[in-house]
Amino acid sequence: MSVDFDHETLGQRVVFKSGHAADNLAAEVGRLRASRVMVIATEFESETATKLSTGFDVALHYSDVAPHVPIAKAKAARVIASEYNIDLLVCIGGGSTTGLAKAIAMTTGLPIVAVPTTYAGSEGTNVWGLTANSRKLTGVDNRVLPVTVIYDAELTLSLPVELSVASGLNALAHCVDSMWAPRADPINQAIASEGIRAISVGLEAVVSDPTGLGGRERALYGAYLSAVAFASAGSGMHHKICHVLGGAYGVPHAQTHATVLPHVLAFNAQHAPDAEIRIATALGAASAVDGLARLYSALRAPSALREYGFDEASIPEAARLILSAIPESNPHAVSIDDLERLLRAVWSGRPVEG
């Protein structure tokens, strides 16, 4: 078997130590010689953001954050950053917060230091996403890649178990999609395999011991690996489905990824035997589908998108929107009937079809 691929590794600094986010953040601000810092965090994370930013001067605390980064909010944040002569963006929170920082960086070139409080993984990619006219637009731009990511598992302790599970499964979806995305190669597949192992073990530990740091550290480490793999491999069938659902119907990001993943895995796995073996092995199972089903059962994971506001009547329209976005590299050809059948299963929460 010949080996033939092109792989690009993104340059980024990662600082990982529980209980030291404030010190590490202050050190990074100093290292970057920033004097006009914009700290972005939701109202929910405002207390955490204040505590983490005591070691340096903050020019602006900003909290106008929304899921899927509506273009109007991105434009408003860019104007504010310019008015305050910001020279560094610090985002503290989940994917929406990181997404807004990326939207600012995309047009201003400002550097980002990301401090994740969930397992979203956006902090490890050069992928941006904006929502306009109920459609999610995504792209790749190295200007949006945070220059530094500061990980501290203590910051995830406030994330309830249910949300930890959904967020972690979102990261797991990055790994699975990286197995057959348009730029999949042996390097990002290897990274994704380790990510699957770390996330699955970590999430089970979080469920059994929500206040323990061990499981949360493992899940956070796996989430970073998932982001690295995803940034290299690109968006596969799973992410194209979720981008349409999130942008057009406003369903929550993490729960959407969690409910869609088992069905996309079942659809693709039998047509991608090498990837299926990697996923199954990482999950410690005889088959990828069975391994994921066991994990979902152990985690009591989300299973039905109808519980998160998706209307069954929207399925035909959603299938049409998704079909044109499916990559040609997908292991199995996809029809409109396939997508409608998959979306009905996702909506209802019925077991996957192998």
Cα 36 versus chain centre, distance: 28
Indicate whether 247 pLDDT > 90. no
Chain mean pLDDT for the chain: 95
Q: What is the pTM of this model?
A: 0.92
Domains of the chain: 13-156 (3.40.50.1970), 161-348 (1.20.1090.10)
The whole-number pLDDT of residue 136 equals 80
* pLDDT range class, residue 353, cuts 50, 70, 90: low
Helices 186-208 and 213-233 sit at what angle, rounded to 10 degrees? 150
Q: For residue 186, which phi and psi values (nearest 5 degrees)?
A: -60, -30
d(CA 294, CA 48): 35
Tens of pLDDT, residue by residue over 292-341, are 999 999 999 999 999 999 999 999 999 999 999 999 999 999 999 999 99
Indicate whether 354 pLDDT > 60. no
- As a whole-number percent, the residues of the chain with pLDDT over 90 amount to 89
d(CA 340, CA 53): 47
Tens of pLDDT, residue by residue over 157-205, are 999 999 999 999 999 999 999 999 999 999 999 999 999 999 999 999 9
End-to-end CA distance of the chain: 28
